[in-house]
Amino acid sequence: MLKLKDEDLLALRAWMAQALGMEGEIYRPAFLARRLWSRMRATGTPDVASYLALVRGDPAEALTLASKFLVPTTEFFRNPEVFHALGRELVARTSRPGWTALRAVCAPCSTGEEAVSLAILLSELGLRGHIVALDRSRRSLGALRTGLWPRRSTEKVDLRRRARYFRDEGETSRITEDIAARIQPVCCDLGGGIPADGVHLVMMRNFFIYLTESAQGRLLHEAARALVPGGLLVLGRVEILPRAALGPWALVERDARIYERTGGAG
């Protein structure tokens, strides 16, 4: 496994900033090294300097490496038990003042499946609500802009939901207008913060884990700022807030990694 030397890490981050406009400082060096290593092996380059020389002259390889760093993996109703627990928590809050029309953020949303799943959940629970779907990758947000996904990506959605919320168009499936109308895709770099406030829910699954501790701390601070008191933060199944970071957070659904923003300082 590759361990990045300081000068390699600096050179890689400089390339990320210059070629991809990405702030490489927010990602864990070990994460960057793993992703870089897989491309060095695939291209047969012996060291980081030669790989960076290669990638500077090869736009296709640069795109492949960028996609490695962005990890676009996602799916509809990923970890369905999380949506179940989330539905329970949202319903329990609907009678609170200010919770009649929910404002949610998917940060990040990748190709949008998570935002669509959340919109379907709200619709099924009879809840009013709107979702801002954020991601760094403009390309990933394309599906949300058109409302179309590859048909095979909807095949794991249960049949009842598929029939109610998707219309097949050849090799693609289109989400219904009522679901599309609940979602607004926005391209943004979460390293610069969460461009929202007064929200009831921040879904931040499978991103946090790739970040350095200080970037995690800044993002948690941003989530606490964006959420109303009592609002919910959802992390990924393998992500957990360290005790020291708990401050304004109370764990309300352990297995689903759902935290409540308490009244305390962010």
Ligand X SMILES: C[S@@+](CC[C@H](N)C(=O)[O-])C[C@H]1O[C@@H](n2cnc3c(N)ncnc32)[C@H](O)[C@@H]1O
**Residues lying near ligand X in the complex (CB under 6 A):** 70-74, 78, 108-110, 114, 135-137, 140, 189-191, 205-207, 236
Cα first-last separation, the chain: 37
Rounded to an integer, what distance in angstroms lies between the CA atom of residue 119 and that of residue 32? 33
The amino acid sitting at 136 is R
User: Could you tell me the two tokens for 187?
Assistant: 């391209």
- Indicate the residue among 206 and 216 with the shorter CB distance to ligand X: 206
Considering the complex, state which of residue 35 and residue 78 has its C-beta at the smaller distance from ligand X. 78
Using alpha carbons, list the distances in angstroms from residue 89 to 82, 122, 141, 145: 11, 12, 28, 29
Shortest approach of ligand X to residue 79 CB, angstroms? 8
Query: Of the two residues 9 and 144, which places its CB atom closer to ligand X in the complex?
Result: 144
- Give 137 or 262: the residue with its C-beta nearer to ligand X: 137
> Is residue 210 a contact partner of residue 189, using CB atoms and an 8 Å limit?
no
Supply the minimum distance, in Å, between the C-beta of residue 190 and ligand X. Answer: 4
Dihedral over Cα of 157, 161, 165, 168: its sign: positive
Give the pairing type, strands 199-204 and 101-106. parallel
Min separation Cβ 143 and ligand X, Å: 11
Nearer to ligand X, 45 or 182 (CB): 182
Rg (CA), the chain: 19
